[in-house]
Structure 1
């Protein structure tokens, strides 16, 4: 059995971004940038009004309350600004500013005066002083041409899509998604919706892993139920390799029981074992190997929470490296209550992040941590990992907190 950090190092040794693909912006959500994005235009692309109102050419003097101005034109978003010698224009939010204009007075701060002469230009009176530069969005105030706006390795979420679209980007280069196959062992496993025979259990981990693989930025290519049959297991690996997978995940059959055939089956294929057994809780029996064909194999324990921990803390660092991302940032919060663990083990517990009565965010380890219990895990919002060098972690000690996926930070819940 090796330590957790050594296991991650062995899994990720030499792992690099797999390949680069170019995709349309509409297909970029949930992908990871393969290169820096540099703006080719300014944002905003021109000086424009920040709100509906009146644009004034105040000649860099404060336009005083009570002053009156003749409106010569109305400028809407998408219009070409007039080139005239006027001093006041009606203007809409986002409309380009006339070259002479230096301030925008919002509609709430003007009074429109009645016109007593037919054909007379409408006039407005200011209800408050207006300082030069007010309510104007300047060209390049947000983004300048040539500015790097997103770094390689950035996860493209909705906010990044907004920025890319706003700067006129319609295609981006992204990392290829790692291709994953899942082999579920165990003759007792029955798919959801099917009647349970005596001694049977519903397959909870396959749907969980399929969703987790997608949430981690990878692509599930194949899901196979191989029972406890070695021949089916080997055939499923062959099928996965024919589809160009980068990673084969298996669940169950990796410990030391009579039906735990996965280690011997991989050895029979000539796979290079990286480790079998990691000092972590839960999920110690986890196994990793490299097939002669080049694909990686991670054998996860069968208990649902052991599967979840092994995937989150061993598989996801590998997927992250294949996506060309830097190691996951470390996030720490104080522990809400003292917690007992086993010294020498990398303990990963599910829990929540909550604010105390004074608004301070804390990490709260859930009471029920048994690896077979699904309900408490469904009520969690974060993973919490405890220091390995002591058996009791006191309240207030800083502990690491992690999101359910490496691509999203942990979420917190109200007190």
Structure 2
């Protein structure tokens, strides 16, 4: 057997980064940024008010002072009214602060309060004196012109896209997401809604993998279910145009494991990985450059194999700087056994700040009901013989 890290490194060393393209911000959600984004101008662009209130000269705005209101400045205005001693301007949040003002007195700190008025009053009395600079957002206070605000490899989520728009762009250079074909193999597989005969089971791996691939930021152009027939598998493989192929089932040493039989002849390497579940693994590159992952058939094995090996590769392909799930160290809330000499990847639930197995039946690869309850995978090193209650374990969070 090879260890988990050796198999992972072999995969990642063969995984390139896909090309980038210019896309609108509205189409960039979920992609990885390919080139740094720097501000085209200072953010904010100008000194502006952080409050609805009155722009004043702080030295004039002592408590009890009555100031003449000489201007009304709404957001979007380009007005810059002069303010003589004893004068103020009513101002709205986001509006440019007059050059002669150095502070804002909020509405609630005046005798007029927050009552809505269509027109500015003639005078206003200050109830609480502001300090110089109070409630003024300074030009460039968030980011000076030319500041890098989003780095290459960043996940273009809603917050990153908002920052890029504020920096002055409506398009961005982003990596193309991977196109992933999913093939579930097995003559025992039937549609989930069908009624199984003896020996048949609902096909769930393609559902799991399709969702997991999309969650990882990739696209799924094709999903196929194929019986244990070498000719049918070869025919299906010949129709696929994708960056990645993920096959589940038929990767072990059984007499009917056609995935291994067919793809070994195409140069795909099959290994026994020191991991439970998910010992049988296949990986390689097709002649067209597509990455090929051959996973076991049991659903928990598929889920574990995807998280440990496939997802990091999809993230690398898509150009993300962070390719791994967040990991924490948490105490075990109960004891459980571990497989000798193999890394255990166990579905767990978070319980009072610690973790416990999500399945009462242990860590079998067939315990599919445990997946719905799992909030994380506990990753137990191969040299740990048993996890005792209170032991600290590494946990890979699933969200």
Q: By the TM > 0.5 criterion, same fold?
A: yes
Q: How does 1:297-336 map to 2 (within 5 A)?
A: 297-326=292-321, 327-328=323-324, 331-336=327-332
Work out the CA distance in 1 between the residues paired with 2:296 and 2:14.
25
Q: How does 1:14-413 map to 2 (within 5 A)?
A: 14-58=14-58, 61=59, 63-86=61-84, 87-112=87-112, 122-240=122-240, 243=241, 245-268=242-265, 270-273=266-269, 275-326=270-321, 327-328=323-324, 331-337=327-333, 338-354=335-351, 356=352, 361-368=353-360, 369-404=363-398, 410=399
CA apart distance, 1:373: 2.6
Aligned equivalent of 2:8: 8
Work out the CA distance in 1 between the residues paired with 2:172 and 2:25.
7
CA apart distance, 1:258: 2.3
Work out the CA distance in 2 between the residues paired with 1:14 and 1:314.
12
Work out the CA distance in 2 between the residues paired with 1:292 and 1:279.
28
SS of the residue corresponding to residue 239 of structure 2 reads helix
Work out the CA distance in 2 between the residues paired with 1:382 and 1:81.
56
Work out the CA distance in 2 between the residues paired with 1:176 and 1:250.
22
Work out the CA distance in 2 between the residues paired with 1:220 and 1:43.
39
Work out the CA distance in 2 between the residues paired with 1:67 and 1:403.
58
Query: Are the aligned partners of 2:358 and 2:373 in contact in 1 as well (CA < 8 Å)?
Result: no
CA apart distance, 1:73: 1.3
Deviations 1:59-89 (A, max 9, x none): xx37321111111111111011233234311
Alignment CA distance shift 1:367-1:210 (3 Å): closer
Structure 2 unpaired stretches of 5+: 114-119
SS of the residue corresponding to residue 72 of structure 1 reads strand
Instruction: State which drifts further: 124-133 or 374-383.
Output: 374-383
SS of the residue corresponding to residue 111 of structure 1 reads coil
Alignment CA distance shift 1:88-1:277 (3 Å): same
Deviations 1:308-345 (A, max 9, x none): 11111111121122122345376322223244312421
User: Could you state the TM-score of these two structures normalised by the residue count of structure 2?
Assistant: 0.91
CA apart distance, 1:129: 2.1
Aligned equivalent of 1:116: none
SS of the residue corresponding to residue 274 of structure 2 reads strand
Instruction: State which drifts further: 288-297 or 246-255.
Output: 288-297
Give the count of matched residue pairs: 388
Work out the CA distance in 2 between the residues paired with 1:107 and 1:130.
12
Query: Are the aligned partners of 1:71 and 1:123 in contact in 2 as well (CA < 8 Å)?
Result: yes
Query: Are the aligned partners of 1:205 and 1:307 in contact in 2 as well (CA < 8 Å)?
Result: yes
Query: Are the aligned partners of 2:153 and 2:320 in contact in 1 as well (CA < 8 Å)?
Result: yes
Query: Are the aligned partners of 2:330 and 2:395 in contact in 1 as well (CA < 8 Å)?
Result: no
CA apart distance, 1:102: 0.8
Alignment CA distance shift 1:263-1:370 (3 Å): same
Deviations 1:91-128 (A, max 9, x none): 11111111111111111110039xxxxxx961111111
Aligned equivalent of 1:407: none
Alignment CA distance shift 1:320-1:127 (3 Å): same
